[in-house]
Each structure stands twice: as structure tokens, then as C-alpha cells.
Structure 1
């Protein structure tokens, strides 16, 4: 039974991708490798969260948060700044073009740049969270570096294959939803209206983008875990992993963790874009 057939691995593709201490939890279950890979009953999101809290306490839900913030904060700053700059340039260059299409192009390019720049740190974060008693961040940096510079970008192809389409769908959904909702949301105050519209648009765009790109997220996570389990050996290509998952597990493998991922991503997208819009309003930035 392979690693990604474990229910805890499947769940980590979704709600607690950055927080679930999988290996420590599995060790405390005192199961054999075969038993570990057999899904518990029931295997719902709430059941898994309750199990984590019962075995390790409420703080276990936030395990792995520091390395996540270490990459997420600067990556998001680069991503949003690049998007705004590119979108303004494209609107100036192509004033008659559909804003949704311009947003797709801007979001794709901005995400590609941010994902490439922070790929080494994302790889180390995934590996640290996949292993019990993980070593300090610097130790993992040295271990990956010993495998050559190429190892620093293992899984980047799968990451881009997921993130570029996700960003394209997301920003298209954001811009088109904003244009549709601005004249239909009955809120008098202009600033409150913009933030509210951004919140609703974030939910809609997040659901659309998540469902459209989830198979790529499954392959991306597996490609990064393979790098560790093979002791820094070159990982299979994105297309090879995609084929392996489809042949071994079919549609079920491609949609593993979809529901909890939607539960995580949709509100996260809404909070992120509405917070961004509120910050722009606070600083009088259009």
C-alpha cells in the first residue's frame, strides 16, 4: 500500500495541508502499516479533526504553522504586488480587452514568478511536515542542497501546473464577479460595498479554481513527498505521476481530499481578497 492511499495523506491535501502532523499522529495510532492505510470509519473532515484534537490536543491543529508563514507571507506579497502591476500595464496596453481575460494573464504570470522564487522553501516545508521529529529548517536546506541545485526545485513543474491554472481561474472569477456584483449588492457605503463584493467574489472564484485544478494539487503534493522518501533521488516527472495516480486509483485518486480542500481554500480566498481590498481602501489605493 503506497503512502498516498493513507487517509491522513489524502486529508492533508485539503483542510490541514499546512497543519497536520501526519507521522506523529499515525505513530500514536499504534497501527501496522497495513492498518494505517485502511480508512477509519467515518473518515469525514470533522471526524479527522476530532481525532487529532483527542490524540494531541487543540494546538496540534496548528502544527507546522511557523514554516508555513515563513513562505506564505513573502510569497503572497510578491504575488499580489506583481498581479496589480501586471494588470495595470495590460489594461493600459489593451484598454478594449475583456478585464477577466487580462486578469487571467496577469494572475498566471504573477503566480509563476512567486511559485518559482519560493519553490525551495515550499519543498522543505512539505518534507518537514511529512516526517516525524523533523530536523530544523537549516538542516533540510543543507540536505536538499547536497542533492544539487535541481533538487531545490523538485515538484516545481507540478506546482506550476496547479498554480498557474488556479490563478487564471481565480482572478478571472474575481474580476468578472466584481463587475457583476457591484451594481447588484444593495450597500450604500462605497468602501463597505467594495469589501463585501470582494468577499463574495473570493468565495465564488475560490470554489471555481479549486475544483478545476484539484488533480494537479494531488500530484504536486505527491511529487514533493517522493523526493524525501527516495532520499533525494530525482523525482518522477509531473506527467509520470499523473499517469501513475490515474492508473492506480482512477478518478477517486484524482479527487482525493477535494471536499476539505474546498472547505479550506474558498473561505481563505475570500478572506485574503477582502482583506486586501480593505487594506487598499484604508490607504486610499485604487
Structure 2
């Protein structure tokens, strides 16, 4: 009887610990997502414009300067900031919470006693699985963000609104999409988002954990490398992520910003046929320039928020 009571107590204690860890990952991911947006939003706007309408802009600097001249910093470079924050908080909170949970599942499958002992490949598998859950929350908010960022170009392309851009806020735009297409309209580009996210986060977390491992001194574990090396590892993870997923991201941006109904693979083939392979990498330069400080900020914010919360709770 005592043994049975002890087992029940142990299970309850383990469940509470898992819930606590999941909540801490969720909150730390949310804080990291907000930090990422404010650091990277201007160049993310440039990226989306160049991906969606590559023939309008000569390059990154041209796109940046034209956006500032025509719409200013707030309405131009920081267009879609609110949905970006919602998207990144939703994505990163669920991503990191799911990542922590998937790490524990992977550890059980591979017979690893502690999550801290997972190899970089095993962490990459956990990231691959976690990305599926974050995609379901990311797709609608990413769609709103892309539409807001490319609003001027879309109206010019469709010859609507004349010379004046009819700005629509995120909530009004959301209501319009639901009215026209129903809830399913918010998930336009879901397939291309999944294709982008799951393999992307395999390399994202794999590169991040491997870099942390390589940067650790012989007597250190990955969690003890300090904030500077954590930022370097985050920057490496983000760079690898975007190099791998960029063609899928171009397709996703066009589907979402232009409200296309073309299947992702058919659109990718059409882009290659009519514009060349280079079109699938239009906007890569501002993305990589943005990614280095943005993902470095994301990971250092996430890791140190997580450590602070564990100190408070434990």
C-alpha cells in the first residue's frame, strides 16, 4: 500500500514538474518572440516585399529606401508589427514549449536519461516535431503580417486604390478574410508553411545545439557557455534555418500576400520557369542580415528568461 502511494506521489510530482517546465518554456519563448520582432521587423518587411514583387525593387537598399520615402518608418518598415508580435509570440511560445516536450519524448525513445544529454541530432528531431504544432498557430498571423507588409505593392499590382494606398488594420483585414473565405482563408499557405517550418526547425535547433556544443569548453556543458556564445549559436541556427527554407518561404509569401490559390509546388515550378531559380532567393540578403541579430536576441532572451524563472520557481 505504501509502495502504491509512493508511486502515485512520484507520478503526480513528475506531472507537475513537466507542467512547470512547459509553462516556463512557453513564457520564455513568448518573451524571446517579442524581442525578435522589434530587432528584425524592418528587414523582415523588406524581405516580404522583395519576395512578393521582385521586379519592383533593384535590391535590398532600394527597397528599404523606397519604403521609407513612400510610407515612413512606422507605416512602412514597421508595417505589420502587431501581427508580427502576435505571430512570433504564438509561434515561439508554442514552439519552445513543444520543443521541451518533444525533447523528453525523444529522450525516452532513444533511452537518454536526461534531456541535457541529448545529441545535436536528437535535439534536431525534437525541433522537427515541435515545428508542426507551432505552424498551426503561425499560419494565420503570418498571413495577416504578409498582407499588411505588401499592401502598397498588392494594390498597385491589382490597380486598386489609385495612387493612394488604402491602409487596413490587422483586425479589419482579419474580418475581411473571414467574411470572404471563412476561417479556412486564414490558413491559405498552410502546406507551404509546414514544408518550410518542419525541416527548417530540424536544422535550426540542430545547428543551434551543435554550435553550443562546439563553443563549450571541455569542463562546460552547453548551458554554461555564457550569453555571448549563446548569441553566436542563435545566429548560426537562424542563418542555417533561412538558407534551407528560403525557397519555400518565397512561395509562402506570394501565396499569402497575393491571396493566391495555386498549390505550393505548382507555384514554385512556375516561378522557376518564368523568373528563374534566382527568384526563389529574392530577399535572402536582408533576411540573413536581419536573422543574425534577431535570432541571437531570441535565444539569449529565451535561455536567460528560462534560467531566471527556474531560479524563482525552484
Give TM-score scaled by structure 1 length: 0.76
* Counterpart residue number, 1:168: 202
Q: Within the alignment, does 1:156 sit opposite 2:171 as a pair?
A: no
Q: Following TM superposition, by how much is the alpha carbon of 1:55 offset from its aligned partner in structure 2, in angstroms? A: 4.2
**Distance change >3 Å, CA 226–CA 55, structure 1 → 2:** closer
In structure 2, the CA distance between the partners of 1:19 and 1:258, relative to structure 1 (3 Å rule), is closer
CA RMSD of aligned residues (A): 3.1
Does structure 2 conserve the Cα–Cα contact (< 8 Å) formed by 1:15 and 1:263? no
Which of 174, 180, 187 does residue 141 from structure 1 map onto?
174
Distance 1:250 1:129 in 2: 24
Q: Distance in 2 between matches of 1:196 and 1:94?
A: 31
The 1:73/1:84 distance shift into structure 2, 3 A limit, reads same
Give the drift of 1:279: 1.4
| 8 A Cα contact 1:145 1:151, kept in partner | yes
Corresponding position of 1:7:
none
1:221 to 245, 253, 264: 253
Deviation at 1:280, TM superposition (A): 2.2
Deviation at 1:52, TM superposition (A): 3.3
Residue in 1 aligned with 2:244? 212
Alignment of 1:108-257 (within 5 A): 108-131=128-151, 132-146=165-179, 147-183=181-217, 193-227=225-259, 235-257=261-283
Structure 1 equivalent of residue 103 of structure 2:
87
Q: Distance in 1 between matches of 2:296 and 2:167?
A: 32
Higher relative contact order (CA 8 A, sep 6+): 2
Give the number of equivalent residue pairs. 249
Per-residue deviation, 1:80: 0.9
Change (3 A) 1:117 1:56: closer
My pick for the range that moved more, 202-211 or 92-101, is 92-101
Q: Any gaps of 5 or more consecutive residues in structure 2? A: 1-40, 152-164
Any idea what SS the aligned residue of 2:124 has? helix
Alpha-carbon spacing, 1:38–1:68, altered in 2? closer, same or farther (3 Å): closer
How far 1:15 sits from its partner (Å)?
5.9
Larger radius of gyration: 2
Asked if 1 retains the 8 angstrom alpha-carbon contact of 2:196 and 2:249, the reply is yes
Q: For 1:160 and 1:191, how far apart are their aligned partners in 2?
A: 30
- Of the candidates 54, 64, 68, which is equivalent to residue 53 of structure 1? 68
Alpha carbons 1:20, 1:129 under 8 Å: kept: no
Shift in Å, 1:182: 0.7
Kindly provide the CA deviation profile for residues 180-209 of structure 1, in whole angstroms up to 9, marking residues without a partner as x.
111179xx9x97733233211111122122
Q: Residue 29 of structure 1 aligns with which residue?
A: none
Q: Deviations over 1:76-119 (max 9, x none)?
A: 11111111121133224314596222222211221111111332
